[in-house]
Structure 1
């Protein structure tokens, strides 16, 4: 059985760097960790030189010594592959392993993640270090799992080395077979971009206004994802040969240009996330008027849950964060480490590891604080960690419980990557994603992100009463079939403007819009427009309720006997034109809204579709609190998280057991500043 994420209890860990500290500190550090309730440490992700100090010379004594001590003390270890920071001997001898910017200038040694995935030399050297590490340490009794690399695609998620161009050509040849096939897919007839041979094709290069062919860019992002996944899979396959059967393999963080769902299925046992809600208070980017602030990390945790329903946190905020070169943030206030830990657990984390045990005294991250400050003495944060460990022990019955949601937001990587390089798509999608999340948070409506691909079965969707698919510019027949079946079997689907106007290559279709979604939504779109600056807020009247149709407006017409106009634009030159159509389709309903979703608009949709505030008969909460629900064996656990710096009152409408105090509660309950309470049925 796995030591962590096993459905039996919560486990606490921390990140430790024995190479940063004199060995005389190790034993005391491990003992103090164990006394605080920390029973797992992550090591070695930046320690290539400690295993291979020069090419082909392998030394194991350093980590042998540390692992022997860890085993003696009863500390469990997650061992990492060190491929995120190739050593200087490697990059000096083999500069072709380095990544480059779009002008071809190499990123030199001195930071991290300065390599490219596609260098044959780097792939060979990585295979060597992973093989040597896994074969030597794989059977060690102190090791319970492996982390591959560190934060795949962090820092840089674009790659412009010569190796990447060669690999990109191969990727395209596999996909399109002929150069004529590529020219057709990319529409290279435009601006005289037609290619005569594969040698003329490169990764995107610097152009006038940096305006690259959008279809070229879309395939490039797919290629970056494919490259990263192959790099992770190569390491996973090596580790599997040597690790113990019960050991797990994971990697940490969620970053751009990467199909994390595919990576998980191919290479990992579960995903771990690096959660830093303190970024909400970064002094160089602080938005005081933003009511969501650190609650935004619940969105990232929901993304992690879309990869692994039960997951781990490899790096949880424990101190002030910042580098010497960027980012400045304050120390977490009393209670915030607990709040952010419970935020992670509320969304599905059964393992939480804090970054880091000791704050480093050297290097770029010497202001990225851990549990202990430079002196290593006991402090307020360590006392809070001890209290969290006590709480984890008292809530172990929740371990393995699944997050419960009846609302889903559909996503897919084709549209995510398309929005990255298409400003029209990006603008509407950014508005709706932000607003939908905020509306769900403020109405205490738990939700899931649900990722679609051509293999998605509608059965995966049926547990959701309502699905939002805000701006699916790119649609496929397979995805539409799943959605059509979901609706026909009784589901409710909401789509927004700019739906269905592109194919998989990102080319605009010549069909009547909304293209493949027309029949399901019962909608025709004869005309459309961005909202003009002098239009102000374009409103639509929905049964007497005014809702904003933000950013972009599709001017709609009903198509079909079951299509019904629910709202019309109430302003701009197209006042009176349909803005919202409901189409009855089988047992369910499809809604097409002609705008992007502003915050208040999203709240109205949740209310009118009957899914907002689903637990109103159980709990009444102020907006500053988040509600998350986990379910296990027919029992629900209600996490109430107060993000406010002052006490708030909540109303418990049904008798529930408050988990930490063990008391039955009905009526008014008080949550202190940053306090979390868990109520069990």
Structure 2
């Protein structure tokens, strides 16, 4: 459906449709005097903007009171945008209720685990389970759809905005009733729920559904399966709200694609986007860089995961920043080149649209220091010139539109249940970071110049020669069976500490760790060995010069299958000379286990040994490995190689060939990447 959206974007005043990369921003004309609007359209055309998202936070302007509607201003801006050749991704405007609604109906306001009400004054102050809010929101959606169903500027619908960003967990009485309904549907009987929740522990057995509550503030650790189910429920009820708005839009505008903006970035984990993706016509995402040692690796990881969620098909980058944001402790401006590089990394991983928050930087409000395409300094600024330059680059890359990600040989599995469950309380360590472990593996592969896809457990796993499953903690029996089949049929599985330990109910797989994977890996662990803060474990990587340093975790491994090869040992400490990394041949493949957190450097040293049985190696020239990221998109007749300079140094790419779409060469034709630069080459399809 994203190709349908792109084909509706007008190429110019003649109206000839042509698929191409979309470019734009959130546009909030209601924040500005009417005389600014024509200048906005002119500057959008100058920058190459062809799509904007409108009305995201406009509910109070569209519906000033319960029985009063004001669409005149929105009609006018829709008309102006259409006349300017700019398509509209029109929001349903339900993201934040207006003051009149929260005043008249305070029961729509969310409640925290400790019983505090979250009051108006910011945004997203609504309960996902509130029937009152749902009624008013769907009334607004219906009004919007009826009014703009046939407007020529409308190319897509944008449901709400960043669903769950601030209200994913609500502990109100509405939530309690909805949670009980969700649990009835999941378990059918109280006996089944009591078994799943292990309520024989701490005298928690329920005799009536009405006794069940969300995991509100408790005297000690709440029931772990209750916590996990509440996370699942909270994601599901937001998904249900998405469906409710979507269904109204499909009823009234069946030909207009519907999306909502995910937030695959950082530690935003409350929404199971892998589960949501099937509910919308194309996947959209918001991403913001958080400065740090892995900031650009994290950007690539997140964009890669969005592609995995989208099944490798094109998706829509709905928001990122031109420069500084406003919500970090210190908001650092981007350096020259960062704006284009950040944007093109998303395109390389499958984004057919590059959009920012927002078009014009606000003069008032909580986000007035958040950068925009038109900054406070105006169009006569380095930032706007960079914005216009990116617009030209995206026009050059028009042939990439509609192409899909070319699968890599390595897949990294990302699983929301494991993310949620592995980081709950009363575990061997409170320091475990599921996403960080996955990112470390990704960064190590980047350092080796090896492409990898970040995928979900719903992906067809057999397309990957190597499958890495970091901290795959929740292991339902069918998934364990599938991973075993994968390895026996020739795949090479790599998993880590705290994997395979519990089933879908967060119950331990008994008999020793790593539980459901114990036989496949040919090892047995009786006790975990988490490390204290500052404590480390030296690891000898057999056959590799030097040692790696383990942190966070160790395991006392006993080898139970004589076919297991020990690839690394603990050098000293409690587990001196015991295995730290193992690999067991099975069928035509293998299954490896890494028992400590080695970090990016340690994994970079270890990975060549783990990848060797699959024959996986870098596709980059020797001098570019570690400095350059290679990402590939393809169509039926072409491959598009995106080469991203990960460093602040100039990198020559000797031996790289193809038609150069973006980038530069030196006098002898060698592609040269300037610091923070991106080159794009087109090759014939393999």
TM-score scaled by structure 2?
0.90
In structure 2, the CA distance between the partners of 1:416 and 1:5, relative to structure 1 (3 Å rule), is farther
In structure 2, the CA distance between the partners of 1:597 and 1:469, relative to structure 1 (3 Å rule), is farther
Q: Distance in 2 between matches of 1:383 and 1:632?
A: 32
Once the two structures are superposed, residues 165-187 of structure 1 have per-residue CA deviations (whole angstroms, 9 ceiling, x without a partner) of 11111111222233333222222
Q: CA deviation at 1:547?
A: 3.7
Q: The residue matched to 2:573 in structure 1 has which SS?
A: coil
Aligned residue for 1:510?
510
Q: Distance in 1 between matches of 2:532 and 2:330?
A: 38
Q: Distance in 2 between matches of 1:5 and 1:103?
A: 50
Aligned residue for 1:62?
73
The 5 A counterparts of 1:125-204 are 125-204=136-215
In structure 2, the CA distance between the partners of 1:380 and 1:586, relative to structure 1 (3 Å rule), is same
Q: Distance in 2 between matches of 1:65 and 1:616?
A: 52
Aligned residue for 1:655?
657
Q: Distance in 2 between matches of 1:224 and 1:248?
A: 22
- Tell me the C-alpha RMSD between the 2 structures: 2.5
318, 322, 334: which one pairs with 1:332? 334
Q: CA deviation at 1:556?
A: 2.2
In structure 2, the CA distance between the partners of 1:71 and 1:670, relative to structure 1 (3 Å rule), is closer
* Contact 1:411 1:452 survives alignment (8 Å): yes
Q: CA deviation at 1:661?
A: 5.5
Aligned residue for 1:381?
383
Q: Distance in 1 between matches of 2:532 and 2:329?
A: 36
100, 123, 126: which one pairs with 2:111? 100
Q: Distance in 1 between matches of 2:419 and 2:155?
A: 35
Aligned residue for 1:604?
605
Q: CA deviation at 1:622?
A: 6.0
In structure 2, the CA distance between the partners of 1:382 and 1:544, relative to structure 1 (3 Å rule), is closer
* Contact 1:541 1:570 survives alignment (8 Å): no
Q: Distance in 2 between matches of 1:590 and 1:240?
A: 46
In structure 2, the CA distance between the partners of 1:643 and 1:495, relative to structure 1 (3 Å rule), is closer
Q: Distance in 1 between matches of 2:620 and 2:159?
A: 45
215, 218, 227: which one pairs with 2:228? 218
Q: Distance in 1 between matches of 2:626 and 2:449?
A: 8
Once the two structures are superposed, residues 48-98 of structure 1 have per-residue CA deviations (whole angstroms, 9 ceiling, x without a partner) of 123222114333222112212222222211100111110011101111111
Q: CA deviation at 1:223?
A: 0.6
Q: CA deviation at 1:5?
A: 8.1
Q: Distance in 2 between matches of 1:525 and 1:667?
A: 56
Q: CA deviation at 1:41?
A: 0.9
Aligned residue for 2:11?
none
255, 258, 261: which one pairs with 1:251? 261
Q: Distance in 2 between matches of 1:563 and 1:671?
A: 44
* Contact 1:495 1:591 survives alignment (8 Å): yes
Once the two structures are superposed, residues 271-327 of structure 1 have per-residue CA deviations (whole angstroms, 9 ceiling, x without a partner) of 2112222x31xxxxxx5xx2x23332112112211212221111121132215xx64
Runs of 5+ unmatched residues, structure 2 = 9-17
Once the two structures are superposed, residues 4-26 of structure 1 have per-residue CA deviations (whole angstroms, 9 ceiling, x without a partner) of 28994212112211111112221
Deviates more, 1:165-174 or 1:175-184: 175-184
Aligned residue for 1:440?
445
Q: Distance in 2 between matches of 1:662 and 1:244?
A: 45
Q: The residue matched to 1:229 in structure 2 has which SS?
A: helix
302, 313, 319: which one pairs with 2:317? 313
Deviates more, 1:487-496 or 1:601-610: 601-610
Aligned residue for 1:284?
none
Q: CA deviation at 1:246?
A: 4.9
Deviates more, 1:152-161 or 1:592-601: 592-601
Deviates more, 1:429-438 or 1:17-26: 429-438
Aligned residue for 1:283?
none
* Contact 1:14 1:357 survives alignment (8 Å): yes
Q: CA deviation at 1:211?
A: 2.3
Once the two structures are superposed, residues 407-456 of structure 1 have per-residue CA deviations (whole angstroms, 9 ceiling, x without a partner) of 11112221111023245476445452242122122222221122115xx6
Q: CA deviation at 1:117?
A: 0.5
Q: Distance in 2 between matches of 1:440 and 1:641?
A: 14
Q: Distance in 1 between matches of 2:628 and 2:45?
A: 33
Aligned residue for 1:592?
593
In structure 2, the CA distance between the partners of 1:334 and 1:664, relative to structure 1 (3 Å rule), is closer
* Contact 2:215 2:222 survives alignment (8 Å): yes
Q: CA deviation at 1:679?
A: 3.1
TM-score scaled by structure 1?
0.91
Q: Distance in 1 between matches of 2:394 and 2:376?
A: 27
* Contact 2:261 2:286 survives alignment (8 Å): no
29, 39, 44: which one pairs with 1:18? 29
In structure 2, the CA distance between the partners of 1:66 and 1:528, relative to structure 1 (3 Å rule), is closer
Once the two structures are superposed, residues 228-260 of structure 1 have per-residue CA deviations (whole angstroms, 9 ceiling, x without a partner) of 110101111111112251544343433422121
* Contact 1:52 1:58 survives alignment (8 Å): yes
* Contact 2:422 2:432 survives alignment (8 Å): no
Q: The residue matched to 2:537 in structure 1 has which SS?
A: coil
The 5 A counterparts of 1:336-347 are 336-347=338-349
In structure 2, the CA distance between the partners of 1:661 and 1:508, relative to structure 1 (3 Å rule), is closer
In structure 2, the CA distance between the partners of 1:578 and 1:73, relative to structure 1 (3 Å rule), is closer
* Contact 1:547 1:601 survives alignment (8 Å): yes
Q: The residue matched to 1:374 in structure 2 has which SS?
A: coil
The 5 A counterparts of 1:285-300 are 287=292, 290=293, 292-300=294-302
In structure 2, the CA distance between the partners of 1:486 and 1:429, relative to structure 1 (3 Å rule), is farther
2:475 counterpart of 1:464: no
Once the two structures are superposed, residues 660-680 of structure 1 have per-residue CA deviations (whole angstroms, 9 ceiling, x without a partner) of 258699775433332222233
Q: Distance in 2 between matches of 1:674 and 1:84?
A: 36
Q: CA deviation at 1:28?
A: 2.0
Q: The residue matched to 2:110 in structure 1 has which SS?
A: coil
Q: Distance in 2 between matches of 1:94 and 1:83?
A: 16
Deviates more, 1:250-259 or 1:42-51: 250-259
Q: Distance in 2 between matches of 1:182 and 1:189?
A: 11
Once the two structures are superposed, residues 95-121 of structure 1 have per-residue CA deviations (whole angstroms, 9 ceiling, x without a partner) of 111111222111111100111100111
Deviates more, 1:576-585 or 1:92-101: 576-585
In structure 2, the CA distance between the partners of 1:231 and 1:426, relative to structure 1 (3 Å rule), is farther
Q: The residue matched to 2:374 in structure 1 has which SS?
A: coil
* Contact 1:429 1:470 survives alignment (8 Å): no
Once the two structures are superposed, residues 615-641 of structure 1 have per-residue CA deviations (whole angstroms, 9 ceiling, x without a partner) of 445463264443322233354333222
Aligned residue for 1:272?
284
* Contact 1:641 1:676 survives alignment (8 Å): yes
* Contact 1:419 1:426 survives alignment (8 Å): no
In structure 2, the CA distance between the partners of 1:58 and 1:420, relative to structure 1 (3 Å rule), is farther
* Contact 2:322 2:356 survives alignment (8 Å): yes
* Contact 1:622 1:650 survives alignment (8 Å): no
The 5 A counterparts of 1:115-130 are 115-130=126-141
In structure 2, the CA distance between the partners of 1:647 and 1:519, relative to structure 1 (3 Å rule), is closer
* Contact 2:405 2:633 survives alignment (8 Å): yes
Aligned residue for 2:633?
630
